[in-house]
Amino acid sequence: MKKQVLNLTLLTALLTPVAMGMQIISDEELDDVSGGQVQVITNGGIVNSHQDNNNGSVILHHNTQRNVSGVYISNNAASAVNNMTNIVSALSPGSVTVTQTNDQCADNSVARKQQEIVNSGDVNDTQDNENASVLITDNAQQNANNLSLVNSAVSAVSRATNMANLGGNDITVTQTSNQDADNEVAYDDIDTPNSSMPRGMDREGYQYIENGGNINGHQRNEQGSINITDNGQENIQNFDVTNVALSATNLGTNILNADDVITTATVTQSNTQDAANRLAAGSIAEDYEFRQDVDNAGDIYLQENGNLSVALSGNAQRNAQAGILINGAASAINAGSNIANVNAGGAVTVSQTNTQDACNWIQTDHPQYVNNGGTIYGDQYNNNGSINIRDQAQSNIVAVMLQNAASSAVNIAQNIASISAGGPIVVTQTNTQNATNVVGASTTNPGCGITCP
């Protein structure tokens, strides 16, 4: 493969742009958890074919969204998402004045996300049990070519991009975005456990898998996780790619290309973003939040157990080209970019600003319990709050920013400027970022929470 370099030319070129179940609890008990998302699957016999059990998740298989081309592609489950793009291309012998403004607020409240799978017989094929997760397999999103690609499950995401390609006289451009994304996963109306309910149903984010027979095929048990396998997202060419589960994420990007500006240029690009993800349980010590229990009675050949984790395998994201590539689980992430390329005969004034506040609050612990009663003949991956990258995943990537985060607080900022002018030059590039991630038995709200105007 010929080596390719991501540069300003590539960046400015971007300007052209389920559930199935059987009721095993009473109507009265279901009423107690009304407003939540509870999935209960009971298989009394052998699972001989592929079964997908997905609860509040994003699932892409086979050739879905393969070779997709567009400006903005977004797949969201139980999420609060803002997406904003301001693009201006102006070439004029006279004066040019452009003002672009976006004000966005996404407010999402999810009561609970619980999944219980009981298999009495053998699992001879593939079974995917996804709870508040993102799963991309096979050739899904392979060769995608877009400005932005977002996959999110139970997350708060704010994404803003200001792009300007300018030439001519007396240019004044103002591009502004203000975004608030608030995602709250919290108790609805129950403050105490109900002992009459099935295992785990009194908890908020809980996944319980019981296998009574052998696992002869492949079983994925994902809880609040990112799992990209096979050729998923291979060869993608996007400016920004975001895969997040149970996270608060801000992406702010300002790109300016001004060439052959004869006289003056004044450009202001600003993004103000707040993303809050509150995963708060009750105050009772035994209320585990986002807990995963896997109980295997028989032999195992291939099983993946991911709890608040990032797992990439196969050729996932191989040969990817991106300005920003983020995979995050249970994290608070800010990514701010300011890029300016200006060639002017007169005075140049450029101001590029990103102000970002990402807050992720997982109030209680997230334990993982895996009990194997038989022999493990093949592979078993037990990941809890972890990053797991294997095989050819992420090989040959060309990116300005590459971030894999699990249970983390991350700030990423870059300022790049190439300025040539015949007059005075004033360039201001600013990233102000605050990422707060609280994971553990903390009852003190670290300040998460957004009030929509």
pLDDT tens readout for residues 132-180:
999 999 999 999 998 999 999 989 999 999 999 988 888 899 999 999 9
Give the mean model confidence (pLDDT) for residues 102-119.
87
Does residue 423 register a pLDDT over 70? yes
User: Phi/psi at 392 (nearest 5 deg)?
Assistant: -100, 10
The tokens of 197 are what? 């309910």
With a cut of 70, say whether residue 8 has pLDDT above it. no
The alpha carbon of residue 326 and the mean position of all alpha carbons in its chain are separated, in whole angstroms, by 7
DSSP string computed for 382-443: EEES-EEE-TTTTTT-EEEEEEEEES-EEEEEEEEEEEEESS-EEEEEEEEEEEEEEESS--
- What backbone torsions phi and psi does residue 376 show, to the nearest 5 degrees? -95, 105
Strand partners, 183: 108, 277
Give pLDDT tens digits for 33-49: 444 678 999 999 999 99
Task: Give CA–CA dist 49/229, Å, rounded.
Answer: 20
More confident residue, 26 or 63: 63
Q: What is the structure's pLDDT at 387?
A: 95
**Predicted local confidence at residue 96, as pLDDT:** 85
Half-sphere exposure of 118 toward its Cβ, with a 13 Å CA cutoff?
11
394 Ramachandran zone, left/alpha/beta (phi>0; psi -120 to 50):
left
pLDDT band at 446 (very low <50, low <70, confident <90, very high): confident
- Angle at 245 (CA atoms; ends 25, 183), nearest 5 degrees: 80
pLDDT digits (tens, 9 = 90+) for 169-189: 888 999 999 999 988 876 544
**What would you report as the CA-atom Rg of the chain, rounded to the nearest whole angstrom?**
24
What is the spatial distance between Cα 446 and Cα 440, in angstroms, rounded to a whole number?
Answer: 12
Higher pLDDT, 108 or 381: 381
Q: What is the pLDDT of residues 292-317, one digit of tens each?
A: 999 999 999 999 999 999 999 999 99
Beta-carbon count within 10 A of 34 CB: 10
C-alpha distance from residue 6 to each of 142, 237, 262, 322, 399 (Å): 19, 10, 28, 8, 7
- pLDDT value at position 262? 76
Nearest Cα to 211, choosing from 125, 126, 305, 122? 122
